[in-house]
């Protein structure tokens, strides 16, 4: 069985196949073992950023922290954090009026650091020969260069589990293999509704 490290792009996974579905309480360890039954999964790295409180959804940060707490109960999972940048930006209107301003001021929020963290850890682990096979849970074509380097320069295989309906062609071409994530696998690998850690008992968020 190949020694396997998994690198999960948390936001790509969420927006690709979890958002709006009742599968968000995902057991990453069980999910990976279901998708990769012939692999010796040694480590699952999860990359995300903490969301701030939002007036339109004040409970979002609480739900995220609860899920991060749940992931901490899984011995194979390590969580790595990027950060959000938010700033006002003037952008052109798609259908500007004949009179008046053709621009509008919007608040642009960007998640920073997660893709860099993932790429850095992937390259470092490959260089140290920590794995025989790396698995990326993402559809982000920005990771093309590190995937090519790990395969062509360091001689390691890199597979992709694609959370999206349509895969990035350049990433699929560079990877050793690509597998789609099906709803049935997500449904079958949920965490227990109630969990216990060093701080006590907690439950999955309502609606998850």
pTM: 0.88
CA atoms within 13 A on the CB side of 13: 25
Strands 83-92, 177-180: pairing is unpaired
DSSP bridge pairs for 179: 161
What pLDDT digit, counting tens, does each position of 157-188 carry?
A: 999 999 999 999 999 999 999 999 999 999 99
| CA-closest candidate to residue 144, choices 123, 118, 121, 170 | 170
Q: What percent of the chain has pLDDT over 90?
A: 78
At 201, the pLDDT band (50, 70, 90 cuts) reads very high
Say how many domains are in the chain.
1
Average pLDDT taken over every residue of the chain: 91
- Residue 39 lies inside a defined structural domain of this protein: yes
At 96, the pLDDT band (50, 70, 90 cuts) reads confident
Backbone angles phi, psi at 4, to 5 degrees: -125, 130
Alpha-carbon distance values, 51 to 11, 62, 68, 192 (Å): 11, 9, 12, 24
CATH of the domain at 190: 3.40.50.1010
- Residue 55 lies inside a defined structural domain of this protein: yes
- Residue 17 lies inside a defined structural domain of this protein: yes
- Residue 98 lies inside a defined structural domain of this protein: no
Q: Token digits for 35?
A: 């998708």
User: What's the mean pLDDT in 17-45?
Assistant: 97
pLDDT (0 to 100) of residue 114? 87
Contact 181, 163 (CB under 8 A): yes
- Residue 208 lies inside a defined structural domain of this protein: no
| CA-closest candidate to residue 112, choices 141, 87, 85 | 85
- Give the number of other Cβ atoms within 10 Å of residue 98's Cβ: 5
Contact 118, 143 (CB under 8 A): yes
Residue 82 contacts by C-beta under 8 Å, 6 or more apart in sequence?
47, 48, 49, 111, 112, 113, 114, 115, 116, 117
What pLDDT digit, counting tens, does each position of 126-157 carry?
A: 999 999 999 999 999 999 999 999 999 999 99
- Residue 97 lies inside a defined structural domain of this protein: no
- Residue 92 lies inside a defined structural domain of this protein: no
- Residue 14 lies inside a defined structural domain of this protein: yes
Residues of the domain holding 182 = 3-83+112-203
Higher pLDDT, 57 or 34: 34
């Amino acid at each position: 069985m190949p020694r396997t490290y998994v690198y999960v792009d948390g936001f790509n996974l969420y927006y690709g196949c979890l958002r709006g579905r009742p599968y968000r309480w995902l057991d990453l360890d069980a999910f990976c073992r279901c998708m990769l039954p012939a692999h010796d999964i040694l480590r699952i790295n999860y990359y995300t950023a903490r969301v701030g409180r939002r007036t339109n959804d004040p409970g979002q940060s609480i739900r995220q922290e609860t899920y991060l707490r749940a992931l901490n109960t899984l011995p194979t999972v390590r969580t790595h954090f990027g950060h959000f940048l938010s700033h006002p930006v003037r952008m052109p209107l798609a259908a500007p009026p004949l009179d008046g301003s053709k621009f509008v001021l919007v608040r642009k929020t960007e998640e920073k650091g997660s893709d860099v963290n993932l790429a850095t850890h992937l390259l470092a682990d490959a260089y140290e020969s920590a794995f025989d096979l790396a698995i990326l849970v993402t559809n982000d074509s920005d990771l093309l260069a590190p995937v090519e380097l790990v395969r062509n320069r360091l001689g390691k295989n890199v597979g992709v589990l694609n959370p999206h309906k349509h895969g990035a062609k350049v990433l699929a071409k560079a990877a050793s293999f690509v597998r789609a994530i099906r709803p049935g696998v997500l449904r079958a690998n949920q965490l227990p509704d109630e969990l216990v850690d060093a701080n006590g008992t907690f439950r999955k968020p309502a609606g998850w």
